[in-house]
Structure 1
Amino acid sequence: MTLPRAASDALLERMTALHPKIIDLTLERVERLLAALGHPEARLPPVVHVAGTNGKGSTLAMIRAGLEARGRVCHAYTSPHLARFHERIRLAGRLIAEERLSAVLDRCMEANGEAPITFFEITTCAAFLAFAEEAADWTLLEVGLGGRLDATNVVVPRLSVITPVDMDHQQYLGDTLGAIAGEKAGIIKRRVPVVVARQHPEAMAVIAARAERLGAPLHAWGEQWVAEESRGRLVYQDERGLLDLPLPNLPGPHQIVNAGTAVAALRVLGEGDPEAAVSRAEWPARMQRLRGSLAALAGPAELWLDGGHNPAAGEALAATLRRMPPRPVHLVAGMLRTKDVGGFLRPLAAVADRLWAVSIPGEANTLPAEETAAHAEAAGLRAGTAPSVEAAVRAAAAHGAGRVLICGSLYLAGHVLREWE
């Protein structure tokens, strides 16, 4: 299904021409535009700022579910979008309306003029403008890339949250865990509490050092709190006591870490319902079962969708598949040139029977299907190519009542959701 073109689409297209680089990390341009707009970032409802490599979106969705269950009204800013840009800006609990989105985009374009600014920077300013002018109890902000120089890092939050840090975006953030963790830890502010998920020791050391240097109270997994699965339940414990909660409704053992992080955040805030946080959160393209027209092509096979794209996500997907009722697993994968394709696919080789590689439709930076297939073969998977997602799903489903997983990129996931769900 092709979505109808809206007025905001033309504005968004114009914004992409203001700065040729998709990613160019600095705060100077966004600070200039926010000043021209009257500093909306200073008028936001209290902010929870979330950074990390994996689990940012899921953790934010759980925090929002916990707050909203107690009647709190939340703004939320996430990226990237999957089917439509409006998904990035949730205004007082609802996706931003087309008329409101067009209005704030237009105001940002007028205030910016022809000055260079990236697409993410100017659209972040638009989100802040919308949030500043609509009443809410909380503003939940997801970092776009990194943290220290991300466009969202112009706020002084009520709480900072850092989800698991792993190797990704090395060309921008550094080629060691310590360097990447340093960029993520850039969201920590002086004397502002920070909740930290389970981390590799190298990353944790960097995060803890920055928190100590800034006098930011640290609430870290394994120190101030812990969360684990026990007898089909999520057991959370911190200095205030123990919570016996249901398992997260978002599937996969990695969601235990995200759920614990969200509960820890709510406990530090003194707000929200921890049980609702883990049982009511919704977040598309994170081991999402598809049931639309594309699923019909899969016949008796289950069809699943996930947007994970780095080695840690590959490990998490493999662990999730191992926990599911046994069925033959077939992968439909499309990835970007900038990703560690082998690192993502190697963990999946142990749980999948075969892979069909596709190029991501409409994405200039897609890895050609033939190259993805070659990486898959090198990782130990039997692999072939398909001319489209539809053809790949049909080919995978021809092997019977197995489990077909479309994976490798949020851009591929967005294509699937736009066209078939």
Structure 2
Amino acid sequence: MTHQEAIDWLYELRLLGSKLGLENPRKLAAHAGNPHQLLKIIHVAGTNGKGSVCAMLESIYRAAGYKTGLFTSPHLVSFRERIQVSREPIAETEVVRLTECMQALVRHFPADQPPTFFEVITVMALEHFARAQCDIVLLETGLGGRLDATNIVTPIATVITPIALDHQQYLGETLAQIAAEKAGIIKQGIPALSASQPPEAKAVLEQTGPITFVDAEHATALAGKHQRQNAALAAATVEALQNTLPVKNDSIETALANVHWPARAQVFERDGRKLLLDAVHNPASAEALRGVLAELQSGQRPTLLLGVLADKNWKQMVAILAPLAGRIVCVPVSSERTLSPDELANACRQQNDCEVIAAESLEEGLAAVAKDDFVVITGSIYLLGEAMELLGLAAAVDEKDLNEWKMSRP
């Protein structure tokens, strides 16, 4: 099997859709030898900031000399980003080996109830981390928590990042319902920490048992108040686990000062121009971006290059972001779920009387902003991955379709 053949097989699983439940992932993990039972795991759920907190925790433990495993989703460009050991993406040869293993294990399942893409890659990741003998694994949930495939593990700590409205069609229409799904990763007797939460979500989390709420900020390389809050949550988690995984304070400070997490309030300059890349997928993350722009105090309204998915709360996101811009370029996302640039542009015009352009492609959109001094590229994380490829910030890899998913019937 070649690496491309492995990716193709995983893509076929993705086409089968996704479903919530623990029976299949538990069975698959058991056939794989229950690799998660060999690992120390910090399990992270929440609506916003899961990946950032995982990246911060990984950076801290790696700085302290531990071998780390990092499992996050979705990927920006390459599938291999999802599974990393000490921030080294899984090798293509290992993707092939694990895919061949998974193909053999999937034969134990009825043809009409195969494991999903996410269930398979979760077990692949756990197997990879166990084989690499990782000292600590940072495991991000895919969707929700209670019935997420990652919830087969017994962690050494659980972490809940800020909860907001998102994926309501799967997790519930209210903050309380969504919080109950996220809280499903909390285990009795296991330390639990949470970011500061809206009262409705906090009340639900408090019902699960003892939980530490972290309402603080900590300096970090990532821009924005929300990232300083994420950093404080990561640092508090490390402190709570000092007896299990000792870390010196200077490792925490050094790691947070140097942590890297692409396309999350990522600012860089090119040819004298400032570009900011930030994935925004709900109103709460749009508010966070507004805060970042206020902190930058550039003295100028940026050009906004925006592309969103139609199944998100994009109207409220537009209401938050469009008024900040001096010029707006709307583009499609490389996804069957994209909102048309024309519809997006019409919504932006209702919020701002600046120039608004509807481009037919991201390439056309980037060309339209090529001479603008300050450009904010934002919206779907799928758009950010494609932008990174086109801007030369990442090697071009045709694996974006592996991010696409839909829920199948249980």
CA distance in 1, matches of 2:227, 2:54: 12
Partner of residue 407, structure 1: 378
CA distance in 2, matches of 1:22, 1:409: 20
2:263/2:279 contact within 8 Å kept? yes
Partner of residue 287, structure 1: 265
CA distance in 2, matches of 1:58, 1:128: 20
1:92/1:135 contact within 8 Å kept? no
1:79 is aligned to 2:68: no
Partner of residue 155, structure 2: 157
User: Bigger CA drift: 172-181 or 410-419?
Assistant: 410-419
1:8/1:105 contact within 8 Å kept? no
1:262/1:277 contact within 8 Å kept? no
What is the number of equivalent residue pairs in this alignment? 380
1:264 is aligned to 2:236: yes
Partner of residue 333, structure 1: 306
1:201 is aligned to 2:174: no
Q: 1:134 to 1:391 in 2, by over 3 A?
A: same
SS, match of residue 9 in structure 1:
helix
Q: How does 1:110-259 map to 2 (within 5 A)?
A: 110-113=104-107, 114=111, 115-210=113-208, 212=209, 217-221=210-214, 226-228=215-217, 234=218, 247-259=219-231
Partner of residue 396, structure 2: none
1:366 is aligned to 2:338: yes
1:353/1:381 contact within 8 Å kept? no
Deviations 1:64-112, CA, capped at 9 Å, x for gaps: 1111111111111011111101100012442111111210111011110
Deviation at 1:390, TM superposition (A): 3.1
1:102 is aligned to 2:73: no
Q: How does 1:293-372 map to 2 (within 5 A)?
A: 295=270, 300-324=272-296, 325-361=298-334, 363-372=335-344
Higher relative contact order (CA 8 A, sep 6+): 2
Deviation at 1:182, TM superposition (A): 0.6
Deviations 1:380-401, CA, capped at 9 Å, x for gaps: 4643201222322332344x43
SS, match of residue 150 in structure 2:
coil
1:46 to 40, 49, 53: 40
Deviation at 1:127, TM superposition (A): 0.7
SS, match of residue 17 in structure 1:
helix
1:77/1:142 contact within 8 Å kept? yes
User: Bigger CA drift: 81-90 or 303-312?
Assistant: 303-312
Deviation at 1:320, TM superposition (A): 0.5
Q: 1:93 to 1:407 in 2, by over 3 A?
A: closer
Q: 1:381 to 1:285 in 2, by over 3 A?
A: farther
1:165/1:199 contact within 8 Å kept? yes
2:265/2:278 contact within 8 Å kept? yes
Gapped regions of structure 1 (runs ≥ 5): 1-5, 229-233, 235-246
CA distance in 2, matches of 1:407, 1:279: 24
CA distance in 2, matches of 1:29, 1:19: 15
Which amino acid is the alignment partner of residue 196 of structure 1?
S
TM-score by length of 1: 0.86
Deviations 1:116-165, CA, capped at 9 Å, x for gaps: 22211111111111112221210110111111111111000000000000
Deviations 1:150-190, CA, capped at 9 Å, x for gaps: 11110000000000000111111111000111111110011
CA distance in 2, matches of 1:96, 1:415: 21
Q: Aligned-pair RMSD on alpha carbons? A: 1.8
Partner of residue 238, structure 1: none
Deviations 1:360-399, CA, capped at 9 Å, x for gaps: 13x222111112212323444643201222322332344x
Gapped regions of structure 2 (runs ≥ 5): 394-410
Deviations 1:13-56, CA, capped at 9 Å, x for gaps: 2233346453311112212211221222222x210001111111
TM-score by length of 2: 0.88
Deviations 1:343-363, CA, capped at 9 Å, x for gaps: 2122213321222111113x2
